[in-house]
Amino acid sequence: MAGALSDLKIVELGEMVSAPYCTKLFADLGADVVKIERTRVGDHSRTRGPFPNDEVHPDKSGLFLYLNTNKRGVTLDVATREGFGIFEELVADADVLVHNVTPPEMDRVGLNFDRLQRINPALIMTSIAPYGLSGPYRNYRSEDLTLWCAGGVCILNGGGPQHPELPPLKTFGHQAGYQGGVHAATATIAAVLARVGDEAGQHVEVSVQESIASQLEMTFEYWPYAKMIASRHGQKPVQPAEMMRCKDGYIYLCCIFEHHWRSFVEIMGNPAWADEEIFADGPKRAQNWDALKIFLEEWVGQQSVLDLYRKAQARRVPFAPVSTMADLLNSEHLQEREFFVEITQPVAGTHKYPGAPVKFSQTPSEIRMPAPTLGQHNAEIFGGRLGMTSERIEELTHKGVI
Amino acid sequence: MAKLPLAGIRVADFSWVWAGPYCTLQLAHLGAEVIRIETKTRPCVTRMLPPWPDGVPGTLNRSGYFNQYNQGKKSLSLNFNHPEASEVAWRLIKSSDIVANNFSASVMDNMGFGYEAIRAVKPDVIMISLLGYGDTGPYREYLALGPTQVPNSGLSALTGYEGWPPMHAGFSYPDPNAGIHGAFAVMAALHHRNKTGEGQFIDMSQWECTMDLLAEGILDYTMNGREPRRIGNRDPQMSPHGIFKCLDLPEKIANVTIDQWVAIACADDEEWRRLARAIGRHDLADDARFATLAARKTNEDALEAIVTEWTSQRSVVDVVDALQAAGVAAGACADNKYLHDDPNLAARKYWVELDHPEVGVKRHCGIPWRMSATPCEVKTPAPLLGQHTDELMTGLLGYTAGEIEDLRKKGALD
């Protein structure tokens, strides 16, 4: 069965997470993706790991292997005149170009939509930029950390009312990159749909800062609506809504509605303290959380995570375990749904990876090939697709262009 | 002007709270006609959550939360306790391309709107269910909320200060993450339908979709059998890499002191030397304690203290300006007011400021992309509850004024 996007030809000029995650979403649904990497060193994610047995190797980095499934990889120095010419040949018959070359680097290399549109009027060019391609921050230096902060979510996480001295806390990994990537994928597939009928390509521009700011729940609106600053320091509106230690791990206690709390009290065997007036409703439990916590910690600390999770869910109370990686890999639910996929890549070996974000009934996601080793498909793409002779490929390799 | 990408596409939107509405918000941005099916008897949770103008909840139409995530949509009010309401919904489904929901598993089945039932009358429908645990498996019926799937996904085990317990993400991250992945999936399915005429069912587990954001943690386990350590804001390959204290805002707001922070990351030795010079510590640029990544990682506490000494005496704006001028990756750890006043977002015309009948003009977050040939724009504010019931009933759904009157009397349109 062909994937939903198997008719699309995509060229990726991507580093690290945002552009590679965008094109992974297309590639795993069948699109033909050619990934262009820098000569010699390749995509920076090749240095990030984790590496099997901690052996640092450009073809064994977990982050790279995850983000680049189902792509063919070539190396090319687009900053050279010859290299840019070859890049233009690749783009000439592509449906989509996705890149996250930074705006100042775009200027330096001469990468712009007008130039590429002359070569390929049907081309969709998607530019993922930290702060967008315009505005006073256009040329700002950025890393995932600074963007996660710039979008306004990071300030909401951290020490809480007990520890105002602690800094706001970054969420694990490269979340700004992922959000830039998936928002770019959404805009890009929309541009593909828009193209039906009139064959007109277009330039799609995605700001990572704006992608994050679009996910602020109700917190942004606190300023325009109520002239209040949303803060991680404040008391929660209702409790319990916290992680707590069990005898074998942590659980997330979640009593958003009053019936959740009443069921939890029953699970605890209706202890007398639960009748205290200071715990009578969610807001009171939040005001008196310091006292409540002492009672709860004593009881919860004697439970096993899985047992309490199942007891709560049996009563329709939405507790959840604070899953370790082992918990996830061993989950009977995830195993039955076959979420994790085993991928063999000749250099890195066979490992389990996170699988598809959704399950399509008719066009399932599929791993057809592992992430490419550095320059693995140079001969196939430059020779096969662009028709270069092996002498020419050798010459360009010698010059460091490919 | 060119037609928008989803012009002519109609969405029967049974979703509520945040994940589903974030999905259909994207579709509305892209030109789809998104019709939210709501009821006065059990309104969307976000209609009852703050913030409200002047702190007063008032009607069900004043929540900034609801008004943010339902821009550009329509609202059809139906009370499914009346069988006639189901008939109205069926008429809508039959004229829709997409059916979206994020109820718990089985709810749509129990309402009579399961995928098989819908497909029987509308074979090329694309239906998406954004479920906490997905539509199959032993935990299918388990309850999940946005906040629970942060710890459940493994994100909390990986997030936290060094040596401290697991921490949250600070917001219900799995909700919008599911919503945006859902929007992409729906459009991939539309592309397939355009080619083949075939519709399909999209089964999303918010739990799984969140795990797609933490492959580095999962792979450390599958490759090395190791549970990664929590390392706060630090990074194994960059130093300094942290969030540093700046001067508090000079004024209190609502009687609260507002603390300000700046994120700084140095990707390599050269960027570190630029930072050292920018903070007036030329002496440190060649100090052996900090000359290499390995040295900076070894002396990271001392390094962070030096950076903090400089940042903590300055406003966050001054710090960012000085460091960006020196070529160092620095950015404000923005709160909602900081974003509201951010010159970059203003210059890029990111904000949406439309006149809403009950709250007036309030600034809302806009569309995070620009499309050169099919420019997207939010044209209408979030709907009042049931605002489009009459318009849709008489127009699209083909009811007469008398029939509508009759249904309203019975309470089917509550």
pLDDT at position B286, please?
86
Contact partners, residue A209, CB within 8 Å, separation at least 6 = A130, A131, A132, A137, A147, A150, A151, B344, B345
Report yes or no: B50 at the A interface, CB cutoff 8 Å. Answer: yes
Q: State whether ipTM is beyond 0.95.
A: yes
Give the pLDDT band of residue A161 (cuts 50, 70, 90). confident
Nearest to A79 by CA among A61, A102, A47, A46: A102
Nearest to A63 among B183, B215, B258 (CB): B215
Domains defined for chain A, CATH in brackets: 9-215+337-399 (3.40.50.10540), 241-329 (3.30.1540.10)
Which among B329, B373, B317, B368 is positioned nearest to B26, based on CA atoms?
B368
Backbone phi, psi, residue B34, to 5°: -100, 120
Q: Share the mean pLDDT of chain B.
A: 97
Domain residue extents for chain B: 10-213+346-410, 241-334
pLDDT band at A24, cuts 50/70/90? Answer: very high
Closest-CA residue of B relative to A219 is B336
Which pLDDT does position B364 carry in this prediction?
98
Give the whole-angstrom CA distance, residue B359 versus residue B64.
Answer: 9
* Interchain CB distance below 8 Å, A324 and B204: no
A321 contacts A311 by C-beta, under 8 angstroms: no
Residue with tokens 């930074």: A102
According to DSSP, residue B329 is labeled: E
Of A145, A151, A152, give the one whose Cα is nearest residue B328.
Answer: A145
Nearest to A260 by CA among A207, A197, A319, A215: A319
Inter-residue contact B338 to A152 (CB < 8 Å)? yes
The pLDDT assigned to B50 comes to 94
Interval A40-92: pLDDT, tens: 999 999 999 999 999 999 999 999 999 999 999 999 999 999 999 999 999 99
Interval A323-369: pLDDT, tens:
999 999 999 999 999 999 999 999 999 999 999 999 999 999 999 99
pLDDT at B154: 98
Amino acid occupying residue A394? E
pLDDT in tens, B294-324: 999 999 999 999 999 999 999 999 999 999 9
Instruction: Answer whether A134 sits within 8 Å of B347, measured CB to CB.
Output: yes
- Inform me whether the pLDDT recorded for B60 exceeds 60: yes
User: Residue B288: what residue type?
Assistant: A
Measure CB to CB from residue A135 to each of B50, B208, B347 and give the nearest one. B347
| In the predicted structure, residue A293 carries a pLDDT above the cut 70 | yes
Side-chain half-sphere CA neighbours of B12 within 13 A: 23
Catalytic hit among B175, B269, B390, B414:
B175
Active site residue B268: no
Residue A332 CB burial class (10 angstroms; 0-12, 13-18, ≥19): exposed
Average pLDDT over residues A19-37: 98
Q: Is residue B229 predicted with pLDDT exceeding 90?
A: yes
For domain B10-213+346-410, the CATH superfamily is: Crotonobetainyl-coa:carnitine coa-transferase; domain 1 (3.40.50.10540)
Q: What is the pLDDT of residues B139-169, one digit of tens each?
A: 999 999 989 999 999 999 999 999 999 999 9
Q: How many whole angstroms separate alpha carbon A402 and alpha carbon A80? A: 10
Alpha carbons B17 and B176: distance in angstroms, whole number:
11
Start-to-end Cα distance in chain B: 39
Query: Angle A25-B2-B32 (CA atoms, 0-180°, nearest 5)?
Result: 55
pLDDT at residue A1 in the model = 64
Least Cα separation, residue B406 to chain A (angstroms): 36
- Name the pLDDT band for A233 (thresholds 50, 70, 90): confident
CA distance A311 to A44: 46
Q: What is the CB neighbour count within 10 angstroms for residue A235?
A: 12
Say if residues A204 and B373 touch (Cβ distance below 8 Å).
no
Residues of A within 8 A of B382 (CB-CB) are none
- From A220, A117, A399, A301, select the one nearest B337 (Cα to Cα): A220
Provide the chain B residues 101-160 that lie in CB contact (below 8 A) with chain A: 128, 132-139, 142-145, 147-160
Residues in Cβ contact with B76 at an 8 Å cutoff, skipping those fewer than 6 apart: B35, B36, B37, B38, B88, B92, B386, B388, B389, B392, B393
| Residue bearing tokens 């000569």 | A39
A100-152: per-residue pLDDT in tens? 999 999 999 999 999 999 999 999 999 999 999 999 999 999 999 999 999 99
Q: Cβ distance A251 to A300 under 8 Å?
A: yes
Q: Looking at this protein, which amino acid is placed at residue B305?
A: A
Please report which confidence band the pLDDT of residue A237 belongs to, taking 50, 70 and 90 as the band edges.
confident
Instruction: Look up residue A80 and give its two tokens.
Output: 């050279």
Helix (H, G, I), strand (E, B) or coil at B352: strand
How far apart CA A339 and CA A333 sit, in angstroms, is 9
pLDDT value of residue A159 = 86
CB burial of residue B288 (10 Å; 0-12, 13-18, 19+):
exposed
Phi, psi torsion values for A170, nearest 5 degrees: -70, 140
Residue closest to B330 by CA, chosen among A359, A347, A150: A150
B73-87 tens-digit pLDDT: 999 999 999 999 999
β-strands B98-101, B126-131: how paired? parallel
pLDDT at B333: 98
Phi, psi of A359 (to 5 degrees): -110, 120
**Alpha-carbon gap, residue A272 to B43, rounded angstroms:** 35
Matching fold, domains B10-213+346-410 and B241-334: no
Model confidence band, residue A199 (pLDDT cutoffs 50, 70, 90):
low
DSSP A385: I
Confidence of residue B237 (pLDDT cuts 50, 70, 90): very high
User: What's the DSSP call for residue B41?
Assistant: S
Chain B neighbors of A200, CB-CB under 8 A: 2, 373
Can you tell me the distance from the alpha carbon of A224 to that of B360, in angstroms, rounded to the nearest whole number? 11
Which CATH fold would you assign to the domain B241-334? formyl-coa transferase, domain 3 (3.30.1540)
